[in-house]
Amino acid sequence: MIKVEGLTKRYARNIAVKNISFEVGKGEIVGFLGKNGAGKTTTMRVLTCFLPPTSGKANVAGFDVVEQSLEVKKHIGYLPETPPLYPEMEVADYLSFVAKLKGIPSGEIGRRVDEVCERTSIGGVKKTIIGKLSKGYRQRVGIAQAIIHNPPVLILDEPTSGLDPEQQREARTLIASLSGDHTIILSTHILSEVEQSCSSVIIINNGEIVAVDSVANLHHRGRANEIISVEVVGASPVSVRQRLEQVPGVARVVSRDARDGAAAFDVEALENTFVRPHLARAIVESGWDLTELKVVGESLEEIFLELTRSEKTEGELVAAQ
Amino acid sequence: MRNILTICGKELRAYFASPIAYLLIAFFGLIFGFFFYSATAYFVNAGLRQSMMGGGGQPMSVNEYVIAPLLGNASVVGLFLIPLISMRLFAEEKRTGTIELLLTSPVRDWEIILGKWLGAMVMYICVLAISMANIALLFAWGQPDWRPILTGYLGLILQGGCVLAIGAFISTTTRNQIIAGGATFAICLLLWVLSWVSSYNDAGWAQAVAYCSILTHFEPFSKGIIDTKDIVFYLSAIFLGLFLTSRSLESLRWRA
C-alpha cells in the first residue's frame, strides 16, 4: 500500500530524512517510532504530498507522490500533529467542509458526516463550536476529518500527544477499530502505544531507519536468555538465593528490592533451558511461599534506547520536525 | 469550480463568524456617512448661494459635486480597510496549521487561491454595499445619473480586487497576521501616493511612476469613464498578485 524507496529530504541547513526505504502492506498498522526531530513528521509530510522529496520515490496506493499527487491526496487521510481545525466553525460544518474538499458528492456528505461522528463518538458535540471543545474531542474531530472520505491509507502524526491517559486509551481504541479497513501509519514517541496498537514498528533515528520489525520480534531481539522474576515469602534472602543457584539451568541470580518480608530475585536462565518448573518446585519443596514467578522480557523501551544510541554516528544531525 | 466555491464559502463564513466583518462594515459605514454628509452639505450650501446670486448658469450636478468626490474618498478609505480583510487569508492558516489540511486535500493550489481571493472579494463588496444606503438617499431626493455611480462602484471593486490580490500574496509570506496587514497597508499607501509624483514632475519617468498608482486609474471610473487601459491595468495587477501568491504557496512546500 505504501512503498518508499531511497527517500531523502533535505532542508536548507540539514537533512531531515536520509535515504530511507520501507514498505507497508494493506491493512497493517505501523508505528513510526523515533525521538522528537528524528524525521517522522517529515516522512509523513512527504507521503501526504505536503512536502516534495529531495530525492527518492514514494508511492501511496499505487500513485507517485510527485507525479500523481492529486490521486495520492484522494487516497490518504491525514491527521497532522496539531489537528487542522477552524476554531470558529461548528463540528458538523467543519466536517462537511472537509468532505467537500475531499470531493465527496453533495448528496452523500450528510450521511458521511453522521457516520464519522458516530465512529469517533462525537455525535454529542456536532453543533458545538470547535474552539470550545476539550483537547480530547478536538483530537477526535481531527481523526474524523481524516477518515471522512474513507481513505485506504491513514497517516496519523502523534495522534495521542497531549491527551490525558484516559483520552489516550480512547484514542488508541478508536485507532485500533479503524484497522480493519485502513492501512495506518502512526507516529509516536510513546513506546507502550506502539506495543498496544501496532502490528509492526519502524524505528527512525537521525533521519535513518534503524529497525523495521514486528512488535513481537522486537521483543525477542537483543537477548537470547530468559530472565525470570521470582518473589518468595517466608525465608531469608540468603537461603533462597543459595537454593535457587542450585537449580539446574540457572546461570545467575540477582537480588532485587522487595517489600517487607519477601525476597525477590531476577534469575537468568542458561540458553535454551526451560527452568521455570524447576524453580517453582525447588521453592515449594523447601517449604516457602512462592508469590511471584514471571518472565521478564526486554521492554521495547530498552530496545528502542539501545537501537537509537548505537546508531549515533556521522555527526549530530538535528532534523526539523 | 466546486472546490473554489467551497473554499470561498468557508472564508466568508470565517469573516462573518468573527467580529471583523461587522467592524469593517460599521467603520466604513460611519466614515462614508461622514463624507456623504460633508459632500451634500457643501453641495446644498453652494447651491443656495448660486440661487441667491440670481440663479444664473447651469444647475450644479449632483454627480460632479457629490458622487465623484465621495467615491474618490471611498477608494482611499478602501485602501486602509482592505489590509484588514486580506491579512488573515493565509497567515492565519499557516499559524494554526490548517494550511496542512488544504495542501493535503485533493485540491489544486490555484483553486485554493482563487477561492480565498473570491471570499475576500465578496467580503469587500459587502463592506462597500453599506454605502449604497447613502447613495439611495440621493436618488430619493434628487435625480443623479446612475451610470457614473455604476462605473464608480465597478472601479472600486476592481481596485479592491487588485489590492486584495497583493494582500493575499503578502499573507502567504508570513504566519503573523499583524505583519501581513502592516506590510499590505504600507504597500497600499505607497501605491496611493505614487500618483502625487506627476503633480510636481512632468518627466517621462514620473508619469510612468504615477501610472503605477492604483488611484490614478480609479479617477476615470468615478467620472463615469470606462477606459480599457484602466481595466487592463487592474486586471493585470490582480493576475500578478494571484500569480505571486501561487508561486509563494508553492515555495512553502519547497522551503518548508
Could you tell me the CATH number of the domain that includes residue A65?
A: 3.40.50.300
Q: Report DSSP letters for A121-140, one per residue.
A: T-GGGTTSBGGGS-HHHHHH
Q: Is the pLDDT of residue A120 over 80?
A: yes
Top pLDDT among A225 and B194 is at B194
- pLDDT bracket for residue A225 (50, 70, 90): low
- pLDDT bracket for residue A278 (50, 70, 90): confident
Q: Quick check: is A45 in a domain?
A: yes
Task: Summarize the confidence of residues A24-50 as an average pLDDT.
Answer: 87
| Residue-wise pLDDT tens digits, B29-58 | 999 999 999 888 888 888 888 778 776 666
pLDDT at B193: 84
Contact A85, A130 (CB under 8 A): yes
Both A269 and A137 in a single domain? no
Contact B83, B188 (CB under 8 A): yes
Q: Is the pLDDT of residue A300 over 80?
A: no
| Contact with chain B for residue A86, Cβ under 8 A | yes
Among A11, A49, A84, the residue with its CB nearest the CB of B98 is A84
- pLDDT bracket for residue B179 (50, 70, 90): very high
Top pLDDT among B178 and A194 is at B178
Name the domain count of chain A: 2
Q: Quick check: is A301 in a domain?
A: no
- Domain boundary at A201, A220, A239, which? A220
| Contact with chain B for residue A108, Cβ under 8 A | no
User: What gap in Å lies between CA A264 and CA B140, rounded to an integer?
Assistant: 98
Could you tell me the CATH number of the domain that includes residue A250?
A: 3.30.70.100
Both A161 and A216 in a single domain? yes
A23 dihedral zone (left: phi>0; alpha: psi -120 to 50; beta):
beta
CA distance B218 to chain A (A): 36
Q: Which residues contact A152 (CB under 8 A, 6 or more apart)?
A: A1, A26, A61, A75, A181, A182, A183
pLDDT at A298: 62
Among A80, A100, A101, the residue with its CB nearest the CB of B97 is A80
| Residue-wise pLDDT tens digits, A66-116 | 888 899 999 999 999 889 999 999 999 999 999 999 999 989 999 999 999
**Which chain A residue's Cα is nearest to B18?**
A88
Both A94 and A174 in a single domain? yes
Q: Quick check: is A312 in a domain?
A: no
* Helix extents (H) in chain B: 2-17, 19-52, 62, 68-86, 88-96, 99-103, 109-129, 132-141, 146-172, 177-193, 197-200, 204-211, 219-222, 228-255
Residue A125 grid cell: 458535540
For B242, how many CA atoms within 13 A lie in the half-sphere containing its CB? 20
Nearest to B157 by CA among B89, B73, B234: B234
Contact B86, B164 (CB under 8 A): yes
User: What gap in Å lies between CA A50 and CA A65, rounded to an integer?
Assistant: 9
* Lowest mean pLDDT, pick from A254-258, B9-13, B121-125, B217-221: A254-258
Nearest to A215 by CA among A33, A20, A4, A3: A33
Both A260 and A152 in a single domain? no
Say yes or no for a CB contact (<8 Å) between A80 and B3: no
Say yes or no for a CB contact (<8 Å) between A50 and B107: no
Q: Quick check: is A313 in a domain?
A: no
Q: Is the pLDDT of residue A302 over 80?
A: no
User: What gap in Å lies between CA A49 and CA B105, rounded to an integer?
Assistant: 9
- pLDDT bracket for residue B210 (50, 70, 90): confident
Task: Give me the count of residues in chain A.
Answer: 321
DSSP state of A288: -
Q: The sheet that has A29-33: what strands, in order across it?
A: A76-79, A153-157, A183-188, A29-33, A200-205, A208-214
Both A80 and A189 in a single domain? yes
Q: Which residues contact A281 (CB under 8 A, 6 or more apart)?
A: none
Give the other-Cβ count within 10 Å of A62's Cβ: 12
Question: Which uninterrupted H or E stretch holds A17?
Answer: strand A15-24
Burial (Cβ within 10 Å: 0-12, 13-18, ≥19) of residue A56: middle
* Lowest mean pLDDT, pick from A239-243, B110-114, B170-174: A239-243
Helix axes B228-255 and B109-129, enclosed angle (nearest 10): 130
Q: What is the DSSP pairing of strand A227-233 with strand A262-269?
A: antiparallel
Question: Which uninterrupted H or E stretch holds A171?
Answer: helix A165-178
Burial (Cβ within 10 Å: 0-12, 13-18, ≥19) of residue A13: exposed
Q: Quick check: is A139 in a domain?
A: yes
CA distance B99 to chain A (A): 8
Nearest to B99 by CA among B82, B116, B124, B121: B116
Among A49, A88, A97, the residue with its CB nearest the CB of B104 is A49
- Containing domain of residue A263, as a range? 227-296
Both A124 and A13 in a single domain? yes
pLDDT at A297: 64
| Contact with chain B for residue A138, Cβ under 8 A | no
CA distance A14 to chain B (A): 12
Top pLDDT among A249 and B183 is at B183
Both A6 and A78 in a single domain? yes
Both A176 and A56 in a single domain? yes
Q: Quick check: is A315 in a domain?
A: no
Say yes or no for a CB contact (<8 Å) between A88 and B14: yes
Among A50, A87, A101, the residue with its CB nearest the CB of B253 is A50
Both A147 and A268 in a single domain? no
A121 dihedral zone (left: phi>0; alpha: psi -120 to 50; beta):
left
Both A167 and A264 in a single domain? no
Helix axes B146-172 and B88-96, enclosed angle (nearest 10): 30
Say yes or no for a CB contact (<8 Å) between A84 and B100: yes
Both A145 and A249 in a single domain? no
- Containing domain of residue B250, as a range? 2-255
Q: Report DSSP letters for A215-234, one per residue.
A: HHHHHHSS--S-EEEEEEES
Task: Summarize the confidence of residues B221-246 as an average pLDDT.
Answer: 91
| Contact with chain B for residue A288, Cβ under 8 A | no
Q: Is the pLDDT of residue A222 over 60?
A: no
Which one of A70, A101, A157 would you mutate to disrupt binding with B, by most B Cβ within 10 Å of its Cβ? A101
Q: Quick check: is A53 in a domain?
A: yes
Beta-bridge partners for A201: A31, A213
Name the domain count of chain B: 1
Nearest to A138 by CA among A182, A80, A179: A80
Q: Quick check: is A134 in a domain?
A: yes
| Contact with chain A for residue B14, Cβ under 8 A | yes
Both A161 and A253 in a single domain? no
| Contact with chain A for residue B125, Cβ under 8 A | no
- Domain boundary at A220, A242, A263, which? A220
